[in-house]
Chain A
Amino acid sequence: MTKPAWTREFLDALARDGVSVVEERPDSAVPVHRVRIHSADWKPAATACATMEARFAGIWADQHDEGYVVHSLYERDGRYLELSTFLDPGAALLASLSCLFPAADRLERHMRDLLGVQVDGGDGRRWARHKAWQAEEFPLRSDFPHAGRPPRRVPSDVDYPFENVRGAGVYEIPVGPVHAGIIEPAHFRFQAVGEDVLRLEVRLGYVHKGIEKLAVGRDPRALARLAARVSGDSAVSHAWAACQAMERATGCLVPPRALVLRAVLSERERVANHIGDVGAICNDVGFSFAHVQCARLRERWQRRNAGVFGHRLLMDSIIPGGVGVDIDADAERSLRSDHEEFRRETTTLFDVIEDHPSLDDRLISTGILQPGDARALGCTGFTGKASGQGFDVRVHAPYAPYDTLAMKTAVCVEGDVAARVRVRMMEIEQSLEALDRMLDQMPSGPTSTTMPAAGANAEGLGIIDGWRGEIVCFVRFDSQGRVARYFPRDPSWFSWPALERLIHGNIVPDFPVCNKSINASYSGHDL
């Protein structure tokens, strides 16, 4: 097996730095190269990744019988590298990576709050931990009861130490977690002078549902159901990521028809969410004409989902080993006519949106995410693509069936709200075109296969391009073939920090439209 270029280089660099590799597993089924190192070498190894300009793609911990295994994932040129290390329960701290990769900060805090893996350095403030748990309780540990502790009155979370900005005329605006509209809860703390935002800090965690704990002990089918509910708007993407991880762990070969159907579902989800977002962005600047038109198109699209696939949000259509839905000739015809009609209507509508002076005035140069920031945070999806970061799993690390579909990436460099709208519009166009091609080349055959039983401690990593960007999903089975650890890393982990950066230099009333243009998931982040 030939080693991918940058991981070879990386291993050479490790040898030069005197870092010894404990175990190395080039994975043939996945473009992920796995390297196990000593915990003391955690930071030098990450430094080598940073030097080689690899993108940070996640960090999570997993409790085994004998201790913790911490995993981190990096990507460059479409090649993934997974670094992991073993931590003794009573052992020394693991060095924080947040000084090398700013996006690691909240994932490390999440890991520390839920599993008690302490991190040396970085932001010491709690993150996922609201007041529902006592100080020394770690809900993800195996000794914590699966059903949780009996509910009691949770004290209000009033003493979170927000960063302060001092100066003449500086004032704070606390917004949320209860908002005037029907949106998910989060607390936004602004420091502003007049209308200019000096600093924004987001406080999340209000929709923590205990997804990771709920996954423990589930069978594969039940895990796929749970994954579809990580974030309702990404039902397909998260379910696919979880199924892909499980299939890789068990060596399951999914039938080709099922793979193409999965891609159809995934692109349908992308189109529905992108069109909804375009409308919502227009609505946030008071242009309700576009909002209503987009809502109408989305509604019709989702009704077709319900008609053909049985669920408006396509939940539970992806199952381990395949898909639970199929299309016949009638369904295919109606899907095709949908694509045609959608294409025709959006052509006119997008012309209006792109060429509307009073809309341009609001969207162009608003909320610029600098390409440097997008790269540092590892943003993917429309957030990254609008700021010149063209990475797309479907294109650069294609998984079946995208390896034969030759997708393109839509990239802009401006990084403003208008660019994020434009990327969405381009992606809709590309998805419609890809959907037609998928229907053309739909293979025949079964739509699912039985997934083989998982071996003890079998691990799998699913990497999918959801509509928000790259979704990474880690699954490990226990000795009974049930899930021992499930960690879905939604792209929102990186887009929330991006929002905090892009708001600099904008005015307070422009925040809602900036927030909407990022549209990070609250639920997918809080887990």
Chain B
Amino acid sequence: MSSFAWLTICLQALIYVSLAPLLTGWIRKAKARLQNRRGPSVFQPYRDLRKLLAKDVHVAHTASPLFRVAPYIVFVSTWLAAITVPILVVELPTAAVADLIVLVGLLALGRFFLALAGMDVGTAFGGMGASREMLISALAEPAMLMAVFTLAMQAHSTNLSTIVTHQIELGLSLKPSLMFALAALSLVAIAETGRIPVDNPATHLELTMVHEAMLLEYTGRHLALMEWAAQVKLMLYGALIVAIFFPWGMTEIVDVDGVMIALLATLGKLALLGAVLAGAETVLAKARLFRVPALLNFALLLGLLGLLSHVILEIGT
């Protein structure tokens, strides 16, 4: 293994934590422009994080130690999950652990602690947020796995590197199974990252919150880590969709030129995806909470259709 390969791994990991706030800022900016507003600068999320990191931490009297460690667990598990998704180079030394099941597991770990922390202080909002988050994730996870299996069957592996390599070799293809899987994964991504129509990241209404409700008791650096983790998660889903369905530009050869091209390609694709998300969020209102299961069941159905169409139409050809 060359040291450059390891350097690239570190670069990938750093890109996630350093550029995730920029992606969030970009989506907010795009939304603001679509609403005829000027909006804050794309760097505003960095300023917010810096502000929160500098602030004192206040913890409720009723909080257990879990409340204090949860932000670190959530941040680290989300980051680790993000690292499994390749954004620049496919065949890296860590490719062996970059497994889709691992990814789902790491995200579930973060969510588990997030929900526990939400309930820990004992306020009504935290409990409500945790219960809603669990409702959403219980339905989102099967849909995600179904989409993942569709991809895994194509590449005969659940390893992300292998899947991406397979997709690159496949070139531009309009397989029905891939279309279904893309639709299912997009719906799951919207639900899991708390975007409209599932959750409203900009709301101040305690009673309608899902993700924000669990963070209401957090302050200072704890809150900064939680927010940051949410931003990384958003970038993770974006990178996942980009890597699997639009992997062009990603390199298999580890050299400086290849990495640079891959970096530019990935950033461009993420920016485009963010703009699409902003557009969708502008034309949609938030759905009623009990319509969310219907949406996620639809995602599950799409995943299942993807799997079936692969089995029926694509195997043996």
**If the complex has contacts A361-B288, A362-B287, A507-B290, are A288 and B205 also in contact, measured as CB distance less than 8 A?**
no
Contacts of B202 in A (CB 8 A): 286, 288
| Interface 1/0 per residue, B20-55 and A, CB below 8 Å | 000000000001001111000000000000000000
Q: Across the two chains, which residue of chain B brings its CB closest to A286?
A: B286
Determine how close the nearest CB of chain B comes to the CB of A436; give it in whole angstroms.
Answer: 27
Instruction: State in angstroms the CA–CA spacing of A296 and B208 once bound together.
Output: 25
| Interface 1/0 per residue, A156-197 and B, CB below 8 Å | 000000000000000111110001111000000000000100
- On whether the beta carbons of B282 and A173 are closer than 8 Å, the reply is no
- On whether the beta carbons of B35 and A284 are closer than 8 Å, the reply is no
B267 at the interface (CB under 8 A from A): no
- On whether the beta carbons of B290 and A195 are closer than 8 Å, the reply is yes
Instruction: State in angstroms the CA–CA spacing of A510 and B285 once bound together.
Output: 13
Q: Across the two chains, which residue of chain A brings its CB closest to B196?
A: A286
- On whether the beta carbons of B285 and A286 are closer than 8 Å, the reply is yes
- Indicate the size class of the contact surface on chain A: 20 to 34
Instruction: State in angstroms the CA–CA spacing of A390 and B317 once bound together.
Output: 69
Q: Which of B156-210 contact A (CB under 8 A)?
A: 196-197, 200, 202-208
Contacts of B286 in A (CB 8 A): 285-287, 362
- On whether the beta carbons of A362 and B288 are closer than 8 Å, the reply is yes
A133 at the interface (CB under 8 A from B): no
Instruction: State in angstroms the CA–CA spacing of A486 and B288 once bound together.
Output: 44
B96 at the interface (CB under 8 A from A): no
Determine how close the nearest CB of chain A comes to the CB of B50; give it in whole angstroms.
Answer: 22
Determine how close the nearest CB of chain A comes to the CB of B227; give it in whole angstroms.
Answer: 15
- On whether the beta carbons of B282 and A358 are closer than 8 Å, the reply is no
Instruction: State in angstroms the CA–CA spacing of A138 and B64 once bound together.
Output: 46
Instruction: State in angstroms the CA–CA spacing of A171 and B127 once bound together.
Output: 11
Contacts of B35 in A (CB 8 A): 288-289, 292-293
Contacts of B208 in A (CB 8 A): 284, 509, 512
B1 at the interface (CB under 8 A from A): no
B124 at the interface (CB under 8 A from A): yes
Instruction: State in angstroms the CA–CA spacing of A134 and B37 once bound together.
Output: 51
Sort A-B residue pairs by CB-CB distance and give the 4 closest, nearest first. A286-B286, A181-B204, A287-B285, A286-B200
24 A/B residue pairs, CB under 8 Å, sorted by A: A180-B204, A181-B205, A182-B204, A195-B290, A282-B285, A284-B205, A285-B286, A286-B196, A286-B200, A288-B35, A288-B202, A288-B282, A289-B35, A289-B283, A292-B35, A292-B37, A293-B36, A356-B285, A358-B287, A362-B287, A507-B288, A507-B289, A509-B208, A511-B207
Name A's B-contacting residues (CB within 8 A).
171-175, 179-182, 195, 282, 284-289, 292-293, 296, 356, 358-359, 361-362, 366, 507-512
Given A284-B208, A358-B197, A362-B285, output 20 extra A-B contacts at Cβ < 8 Å: A171-B124, A172-B124, A173-B128, A173-B207, A174-B124, A179-B204, A180-B204, A180-B205, A180-B206, A181-B204, A285-B285, A286-B284, A288-B35, A288-B202, A289-B34, A292-B35, A356-B285, A361-B287, A362-B288, A509-B289
